[in-house]
Structure 1
């Protein structure tokens, strides 16, 4: 088979503003190592970094470029918790286990900050994140969440009434906010590239343009590409939404969903700062939510819209522009310079799906749009398990996961129909 040609990162504000990163070679021939990782996104690279720093020989295989998938083109918001409400995890595992998992999610946020500082990553980190309310039911929901976080998880966040919020975020759309000073936002591609450099500095080897075509399980599993293979004592599967057919029992537990982000033309520092005066990241709590933040060069980075069919919505720039102007009517003269998208993986219950297949194949998937911090935690937890400390991975593995209904033929249209109901709920209630 022919060796794949070099791939560029998807065109985005992130790829245009990223720290230069040299292309890495494709895998050629057969090599042996302690741990082979499929996927050079944040979960795979986090595992590789932790394991290489512990002295293990680690090889990472990436189908395209480091950070080519969701890790390098997401909304850049770094938030505690997981893709589902913590109450759902409490219902599945009990309050004590839920508290442990929540505390670990906070560790995931802190881990991002620690890696930026330790490895000198130019990730444009900014403190602060707000979940904002559009409707009275959102206010009740956010205040209930605030009480639950304080009473059951020992985590304090601030409630802002409309006047306090307006002083920071002058948008007529929002009537209150739950503000967390410990969460924040960053340049996700720069962060991912920085974690890759740190893993390589610790001894990991990363091969790009090396799509994994098959996994042979056994005492020493083997990952095969078009031009080589890696035999290892352990394998970590971290392909998420972009992987298919490598471990079929995992495929039915996640669905790919298209998400989209746009970057406006430069606004200038004064105009940009007038939109978000404390430079926080913002997200509403609709099912089909909007989320946004400022870039380091004074653009507005605005995400909103999801495609459960994985097909880009018609007239995507126009749709995104309409959503932007509902939030900031004062930007009626501003256009998007770029709009890009990609696939994330969601689980049926939106909870993280991490665990092992047999004794030596590990996986992390189901980040459900909440992965910048959780991916780093997943890599650390898997690395601990490979090194013999599996208690944290076992806790995540106890979360029950069911396959999406309908099989491969019907599960996408069924999901599209279900999401239509939630979007109608956003509009009417």
Structure 2
């Protein structure tokens, strides 16, 4: 599996996947799913498990988008902390959100159920870039322990060497419920499980729009799909299918590199945890199963990639790990992260059309949950779906032409604050 712009480590180490056919003609089903990433695949699988006939359309190949390009980090929760959620929404809603987004590890449940081989490992470390950040992390960890009985470990600065061989960080919080995995192999595992459950997956089949009528019709290159329900799981491309929903997100480009296998890999990250730091433009990194450092750093607000992705990301890696500043980089790749105004996902339904997008760089765990909750709501039990669907959402200002430039100005402001400390 290759990416037309770059060649990723994930693509280079993906399990075998039999290419699926294109849409050719008109079809009917109970549920049409648009998008072959984590959200769409998990929704399609969960619907099929309920006895519904499902057709999934993917514009490119399974896991072509963010689901196959991310850092492979599994981070419980949302972009807001649990205490922020309680402060904004009150105790009852905070309880419901915590139960779903922190306690529900649907990724591990799917891996266990279907025997998905995706190099799953436990442990995630949030690393404090400043002493102030560490103070906030410590308070949040204490709040989680007291309020919810949530198990995490506060790591003082002088204890950080047990996790990371870098002097830059002022402490952190280790979460054993988090972890990391091979995202494409997870997606392919979901795809194979979906096919086994009866889902028809059609690749190279671009959806053009959704038309209302007695039944919904997904209009696509090559034909149409008539369905009782439609699930739009296109994330960064949602505006291509439903332009009004595209107003709720802007795409931010993130880039990753993978070094050659490192002889000193275990010395870099002794606990083998995934790490993300606390900067606004954060660094995030982990070891692969074959002992490469996978490192994400920096971001761009243009959708065109840098001419040399390895050269773009290397300085960020060298700042954290100067001991491997000159390590050979075998892979460089990138992709778009769809972010919302408030960094909370935008999930909901309009009639019989369900949607979930805008996971804002925090989606590797919650996307599987979102897909399953959509199937649950479709089957008539919407209480848990509504917990996420009722999160506030606001379109970016500026309309079609100014939305991205205005959002970019705001993002640049916070990126500059990073540099100024």
Q: TM-score, normalised by structure 2?
A: 0.96
Q: Counterpart of 2:146? A: 151
Aligned residues of 1:99 and 1:152 also touching (Cα < 8 A) = no
Q: Counterpart of 2:56? A: 60
Q: 1:13 to 1:315 in 2, by over 3 A?
A: closer
Where 2:138 maps in the other structure, the secondary structure is helix
Q: 1:10 to 1:102 in 2, by over 3 A?
A: farther
Q: Counterpart of 1:49? A: 45
Alpha-carbon offset, residue 197 of structure 1: 0.4
> 2:17 and 2:4 mapped to 1: Cα distance?
11
Alpha-carbon offset, residue 107 of structure 1: 4.3
2:394 corresponds, among 402, 405, 428, to 402
> 1:344 and 1:368 mapped to 2: Cα distance?
6
Q: 1:42 to 1:251 in 2, by over 3 A?
A: same
Alpha-carbon offset, residue 67 of structure 1: 0.6
Q: Counterpart of 2:186? A: 191
Alpha-carbon offset, residue 335 of structure 1: 2.9
Aligned positions of 1:356-371 closer than 5 A: 356-358=349-351, 360-371=352-363
Aligned residues of 1:7 and 1:209 also touching (Cα < 8 A) = no
In the alignment, structure 1 segments of 5+ residues that lack a partner are 1-5
Q: Which moved more, 1:88-97 or 1:64-73?
A: 88-97
Q: Does residue 428 of structure 1 match 2:413?
A: no
Q: Which moved more, 1:348-357 or 1:210-219?
A: 210-219
Q: Which moved more, 1:90-99 or 1:349-358?
A: 90-99
- Let me know the Cα RMSD of the aligned residues: 1.7
Q: Does residue 236 of structure 1 match 2:228?
A: no
Q: Counterpart of 1:279? A: 272
Where 2:207 maps in the other structure, the secondary structure is coil
Where 2:297 maps in the other structure, the secondary structure is strand
Q: Which moved more, 1:326-335 or 1:201-210?
A: 326-335
> 1:71 and 1:37 mapped to 2: Cα distance?
16
> 1:105 and 1:93 mapped to 2: Cα distance?
15
Q: 1:145 to 1:218 in 2, by over 3 A?
A: farther
Alpha-carbon offset, residue 248 of structure 1: 2.4
Where 1:341 maps in the other structure, the secondary structure is strand
Where 1:137 maps in the other structure, the secondary structure is helix
> 2:238 and 2:206 mapped to 1: Cα distance?
10
1:80 corresponds, among 73, 76, 91, to 76
Alpha-carbon offset, residue 209 of structure 1: 0.4
Q: Which moved more, 1:392-401 or 1:298-307?
A: 392-401
Q: Does residue 259 of structure 1 match 2:254?
A: yes
Q: Which moved more, 1:307-316 or 1:277-286?
A: 307-316
Q: Deviations over 1:51-88 (max 9, x none)?
A: 11111101100000001100011000011111333344
Where 2:252 maps in the other structure, the secondary structure is strand
Q: TM-score, normalised by structure 1?
A: 0.94
Q: Which moved more, 1:243-252 or 1:258-267?
A: 243-252
Aligned residues of 1:89 and 1:399 also touching (Cα < 8 A) = no
Where 2:175 maps in the other structure, the secondary structure is strand
> 2:3 and 2:281 mapped to 1: Cα distance?
31
Q: Counterpart of 2:334? A: 341
1:20 corresponds, among 16, 23, 43, to 16
Q: Deviations over 1:155-179 (max 9, x none)?
A: 1210011222113311111121100
Where 2:228 maps in the other structure, the secondary structure is strand
> 1:424 and 1:10 mapped to 2: Cα distance?
28
Aligned residues of 1:317 and 1:339 also touching (Cα < 8 A) = yes
Q: Which moved more, 1:164-173 or 1:54-63?
A: 164-173
Q: Which moved more, 1:124-133 or 1:407-416?
A: 407-416
Q: Does residue 300 of structure 1 match 2:296?
A: no
Alpha-carbon offset, residue 395 of structure 1: 2.0
Q: Counterpart of 2:374? A: 382
In the alignment, structure 2 segments of 5+ residues that lack a partner are none
1:104 corresponds, among 87, 90, 100, to 100
> 2:312 and 2:69 mapped to 1: Cα distance?
19
